[in-house]
Amino acid sequence: MLDKINKLLEEIKGLSASSAEEAEQLRIKYLSKKGIIPQLFQEFKDVPNDQKKSVGQAINQLKAAAQETINNLKEQFEESQLTSGATDLTLPGTFMPVGSRHPLSIIRKQIVDIFGRIGFTVAEGPEIEDDWHVFEALNFPPEHPARDMQDTFFITQDPDILLRTHTSSVQIRVMEQQKPPVRAIFPGRVFRNEAISARAHCIFHQVEGLYIDEDVSFADLRQTLLYFAKEMFGQETRIRLRPSYFPFTEPSAEMDISCTLCGGEGCNICKHTGWVEILGCGMVDPAVLSNCEIDPDKYTGFAFGMGIERIAMLKYQINDIRLFFENDVRFLEQFRAES
Ligand SMILES: [Zn+2]
């Protein structure tokens, strides 16, 4: 009897299983009611009394060894089942790709924020406009080249309905509805009939600004734009105003900022002048105020307008305007850190 038990003990130590079912088969074979080990307990009755103690201990040891070995075999498959099917809450989460704002949206938001801090509200107007709001009320003479098919997308002619060529049209709409003081900026998309190149596109974005009140002077214009330039490009930024011409402002000026790349020393970006042009501005022409039924003897004001693409190209040193419209993820991904 003891020999039989020892033989079984050796057998059990060498057991192995390649699946959970195989381990269960082993449990049935050795430990179930009709299994080998319970059978030994049946045979135990016939063991002579003087051997009962040693044989009893041996059977108990065998049973314990069988239980341990078979449990270990079973556990091994329970673990592998966990990794194949069940949820392991300690694993890292699924990666969610994070998008980014478009660089034009980033710059637009920065411009709105900067002017918002000094009291400018935001207004918008339609992209499809009439001749009055885009040209006539803004003092464009009938023979002005902007009124030519070469420069403007017309939808219908006579009456002239067209895609606005600048956001100055929103100035007129605001002044028609709101009496001074008016202090607002008008961001929006504009359209020009131009050949697409690295420097020009038929669609781009502008922000126009307008401030109308009593005693608004050119000095107010200059200080406002200096504040904007420092906030947008850094506190060391300097500005200069050069005389220019626009139909709707008098006097008119182009504003340059000191080159953001070389700081005024001269480089390729500023064509070695140390200055970069960023916007047009001027005092609102009294005739434009009259067109909107605002008394030019009582009120004065200034207006300015800039291209959002131009600001973004300067700020991020982007050398091709077409990149803004291609939506190439490799380009857009580079603005992920911006807000
Ligand atoms: Zn430079």
Q: Does the pLDDT at position 83 exceed 70?
A: no
pLDDT tens-place string over residues 164-201: 999 999 999 999 999 999 999 999 999 998 889 888 89
| pLDDT class of 84 with cuts at 50, 70, 90 | low
- Structural domain count, the chain: 2
CATH number, domain of 158, equals 3.30.930.10
In a domain, 98, yes or no: no
Q: Which of 83, 114, 146 is the last residue of a domain?
A: 83
Tokens of 54: 């040693």
Mean pLDDT score across all residues of the chain: 89
In a domain, 108, yes or no: yes
Sole residue written with tokens 């190149």: 197
Q: Which of 52, 83, 114 is the last residue of a domain?
A: 83
Percent of the chain having pLDDT more than 70? 97
pLDDT at 185: 96
In a domain, 96, yes or no: no
16 and 134 share one domain: no
Tokens of 62: 């065998």
* Mean pLDDT on 229-234: 95
Residue 279 or 17, more confident: 279
74 and 120 share one domain: no
The length of the chain in residues reads 339
42 and 118 share one domain: no
**276 CA → ligand 1 middle, Å:** 8
* N- to C-terminal Cα separation, the chain: 83
Sole residue written with tokens 């079984």: 8
126 and 244 share one domain: yes
- Compute the half-sphere exposure of residue 283: CA atoms within 13 Å on the CB side of its CA: 15
Q: Does the pLDDT at position 304 exceed 60?
A: yes
**150 CA → ligand 1 middle, Å:** 33
What is the spatial distance between Cα 21 and Cα 81, in angstroms, rounded to a whole number?
13
Looking at 84-88, 126-130, 223-227, 316-320, which range is the least confident one?
84-88
Q: Does the pLDDT at position 246 exceed 70?
A: yes
**273 CA → ligand 1 middle, Å:** 7
pLDDT at 82: 56
Residue 278 or 147, more confident: 278
In a domain, 117, yes or no: yes
150 and 275 share one domain: yes
Q: Does the pLDDT at position 148 exceed 80?
A: no
Q: Does the pLDDT at position 220 exceed 60?
A: yes
55 and 135 share one domain: no
Strand-strand pairing, 128-130 and 161-163: antiparallel
In a domain, 92, yes or no: no
333 and 241 share one domain: yes
**CB within 5 A of ion ligand 1: which residues?**
259, 261-262, 267, 269-270
Looking at 37-41, 181-185, 221-225, 280-284, which range is the least confident one?
37-41
Domain of residue 45, residue span: 2-83
Distances (CA, A) of 309 to 51, 101, 237, 324: 100, 15, 19, 8
125 and 74 share one domain: no
**179 CA → ligand 1 middle, Å:** 42
227 and 257 share one domain: yes
Q: Which of 83, 111, 131 is the last residue of a domain?
A: 83
191 and 244 share one domain: yes
11 and 67 share one domain: yes
**311 CA → ligand 1 middle, Å:** 15
139 and 32 share one domain: no
**194 CA → ligand 1 middle, Å:** 28
Q: Which residue from 72, 61, 85, 63 is spatially nearest to 17, judged by alpha carbons?
A: 72
